[in-house]
């Protein structure tokens, strides 16, 4: 050992009392730091995604032009400005199939949605696309309808199956009686979705409108059937299912405030959901 580096046992040994004190201080500091982390986590919760259901009505003969604009330009520009495309559909109803596009997009938050739309409409590329696509006449017959939505806690994650089939989607809107929305949610969460699957109805997603008054009483959801004939057969079997009848009776939901709204739809060729 080099001179001046001799080990002095009097100074290298730590007494049990000192070691205990050091450990106590360490644990107190760690607990304080963990407490601060918990406070920060509570004070700054993560922002939930916000969905937007939009309905476009075109002037006569302009639906193909609208679909072409979405397929070739709009989806790319949405992505550029932080808007995530979820699904795009055209109603199967003979009249609406000629002039209606229904789609759902997703934003990081309501504030993000505001900023994304602002950036989108002011984008020079979008302005040129909008102008070029309407040289032969205005595409939309009226302003788009928009409903911001939050996913229900039981909403499913959709996975595409085989493509190229004749699948039919169904958009349904329920308006519960006053004070009954939570019971309606419980019925879907605990019973309905499982029974849907039993009878060949695949759940795509379940949402509540974000804004009052509809946020207090409205459920919006989309399911998928193999085809229109299968849809009829599935609903018939669902209504006659003893488990459903028991769940409906015991749920406390009672009668809805009005009859459900139902729109059958086909996915567009550029829709992520098929």
* pLDDT tens digits, 195-222: 999 999 999 999 999 999 999 999 999 9
Q: Quick one: pLDDT at residue 158?
A: 85
pLDDT, position 120:
98
Q: What percent of the chain has pLDDT over 70?
A: 81
Q: Regarding the domain delimited by 152-274, which CATH topology (the fold level of the hierarchy) does it fall under? A: Alpha-Beta Plaits (3.30.70)
For residue 34, is pLDDT > 80?
no
Q: Which CATH architecture has domain 46-150?
A: 2-Layer Sandwich (3.30)
The per-residue DSSP string of 106-125 comes to: EESSHHHHHHHHHHHHH-HH
Average pLDDT over residues 122-131: 98
pLDDT (mean) for 259-274:
96
Q: How many other CB atoms are found less than 10 A from the CB of residue 51?
A: 24
- Higher pLDDT residue, 42 or 114? 114
C-alpha Rg value of the chain to the nearest Å: 28
Q: Judge residue 122's burial from the number of C-beta atoms within 10 Å of its C-beta, 0-12 exposed, 13-18 middle, 19 or more buried.
A: exposed
Q: Is the dihedral of CA 12, 15, 19, 21 positive or negative?
A: negative
Q: Is the pLDDT of residue 106 over 90?
A: yes
Residue 7: band (very low, low, confident or very high) from pLDDT cuts 50, 70, 90: very low
CB 87 within 8 Å of CB 103? yes
Largest CA distance in the chain: 100
The pTM of this model reads 0.81
pLDDT at residue 162 in the model: 57
Domains in the chain: boundaries = 46-150, 152-274
List Cα–Cα distances, 82 to 77, 102, 109, 112, in angstroms. Answer: 9, 20, 11, 8
pLDDT at 47: 43
> How open is the CA angle 215-113-73, to the nearest 5 degrees?
125
- Alpha-helical (H) ranges within 100-192 are 110-122, 124-133, 181-187
């Amino acid at each position: 050992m080099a001179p001046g580096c001799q080990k002095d046992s009097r100074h290298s040994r730590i007494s049990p009392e000192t070691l205990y004190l050091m450990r106590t201080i360490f644990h107190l500091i760690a607990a304080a730091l963990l407490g601060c982390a918990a406070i920060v986590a509570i004070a700054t919760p993560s922002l939930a995604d916000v969905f937007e259901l939009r309905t476009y009505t075109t002037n006569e003969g302009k639906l193909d032009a609208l679909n072409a604009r979405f397929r070739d330009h709009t989806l790319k520009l949405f992505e550029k400005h932080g808007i995530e495309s979820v699904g795009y559909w055209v109603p199967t109803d003979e009249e609406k199939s000629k002039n209606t596009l229904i789609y759902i997009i997703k934003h990081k938050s309501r504030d993000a949605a505001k900023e994304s739309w602002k950036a989108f409409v002011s984008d020079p590329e979008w302005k040129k696309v909008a102008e070029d696509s309407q040289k032969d006449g205005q595409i939309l017959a009226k302003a788009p309808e928009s409903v911001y939505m939050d996913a229900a806690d039981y909403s499913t994650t959709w996975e595409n199956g085989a493509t190229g089939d004749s699948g039919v989607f169904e958009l349904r809107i329920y308006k519960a009686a006053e004070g009954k929305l939570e019971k309606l949610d419980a019925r879907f969460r605990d019973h309905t979705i499982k029974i849907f699957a039993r009878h060949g109805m695949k759940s795509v997603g379940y949402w509540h409108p974000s804004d009052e008054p509809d946020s207090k009483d409205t459920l919006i959801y989309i399911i998928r059937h193999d085809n229109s004939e299968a849809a009829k057969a599935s609903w018939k079997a669902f209504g006659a299912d003893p488990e459903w009848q028991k769940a409906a009776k015991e749920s406390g939901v009672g009668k809805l405030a009005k009859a459900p709204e139902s729109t059958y739809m086909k996915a567009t060729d550029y829709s992520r959901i098929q």
